[in-house]
Amino acid sequence: MAQEAASGRTQDLRLAKELVKEEKASPATEKPKPPKETNAEFIASISSVLVIGLFIITFVLQAFEIPSSSMENTLLIGDHVFVDRIRLAPMTKAMRWLVPYREPHRGDIVVFVSPSQPGLFVVKRVIGQPGDHIHLQHGKVWLNGVEQNEPQVIHSRADYNPYRDEFPNVPPTEDENVTPEWMLTMRAHMEGQDIVVPPNSYFGMGDNRDVSLDSRYWGFIPKENILGRPMFIYWSFMTPASQWQKTDIGSRVSFLFHIVTHFFTETRWSRMLKVVR
């Protein structure tokens, strides 16, 4: 009896082993392998990402570098900002319920195409809207008869320039950097001691008032020239004031090498992701 029981257990073990082998060999229990991505599918995926990215940087966000000191200390030379191209864009009927369109407001910082140098992108703060009366008195802005409190403004030179500081009541001289077109048309926009902002135009000035070449020197900002408003600084690097004027390949390559070798020591880490106001 003991031998028969032992023989039965041996047979049971053999059967169990065979069943395990069959289960392992069974295709039903094997994990299905994920299908391999074809070359066409890979190219389609990459193309989709590129198209979406191109759409975002063309119509939604655009990167700009601050080239001059005219907006110090709000924006420094070498600040790299993302500009919102949607909110201040011309309103479209199809998207007006989804996009919070609005007109530029006083105090907004805007990026726009220079009225005096086509192709040059400029950043200034909106001081006057259409219909506003503006003049400066001893460097202080008077808007619609009220002196403005501007805590963001600095005077880096601390000197006195009659045309700059008493605009528009002191005629410009030839060495004032005033464009010829503005010299001819400025008086047509004056009422008494004020310059009056015409329709579909804005009056812009830099926060660093002593060095800013702004609406005092080339006139109003046409509404259609405005691209958007800076949202935040995504990177800031210590950059020489004249770097934006060095457009030759040698200078660009040299500064690129400088960035690579001094990235960690000359990046202004405290300005990273700073909201622009």
pLDDT, averaged across the chain: 84
For the chain, the three-class secondary structure string (H helix, E strand, C coil) is: CHHHHHHHHHHHHHHHHHHHHHHHHCHHHCCCCCCCCCHHHHHHHHHHHHHHHHHHHHHHEEEEECCCCCCCCCCCCCEEEEEECCCCCCCCCCCCCCCCCCCCCCCCEEEEECCCCCCCEEEEEEEECCCCEEEEECCEEEECCEECCCCCCECCCCCCCHHHHCCCCCCCCCCCCCCHHHHHHHHHHEECCEEECCCCEEEEECCECCCCCCHHHHCCEEHHHEEEEEEEEEEEECCCCCHHHCCCHHHHHHHHHHHHHHHHHHECHHHCCEECC
Cα–Cα distance for residue pair 274/277, rounded to 1 Å: 9
Class of domain 56-275: mainly beta
Give mean pLDDT, residues 58-63.
71
What is the tens place of the pLDDT at every residue in 95-114? 566 666 789 999 999 999 99
Residue 42: its pLDDT value, please?
57
**pTM metric for this prediction:** 0.77
**Does 208 have pLDDT greater than 50?**
yes
Residue 180: its pLDDT value, please?
93
Give mean pLDDT, residues 190-200.
97
Nearest of 233, 231, 229 to residue 126 by alpha carbon: 229
Residue 188: its pLDDT value, please?
96
**Does 15 have pLDDT greater than 60?**
no
Residue 173: its pLDDT value, please?
83
More confident residue, 142 or 3: 142
Residue 1: its pLDDT value, please?
47
**Does 235 have pLDDT greater than 50?**
yes
Q: Are 130 and 199 in contact (CB under 8 A)?
A: yes
Domain boundaries, the chain: 56-275
Residue 276: its pLDDT value, please?
95
**Does 5 have pLDDT greater than 50?**
no
Residue 6: its pLDDT value, please?
47
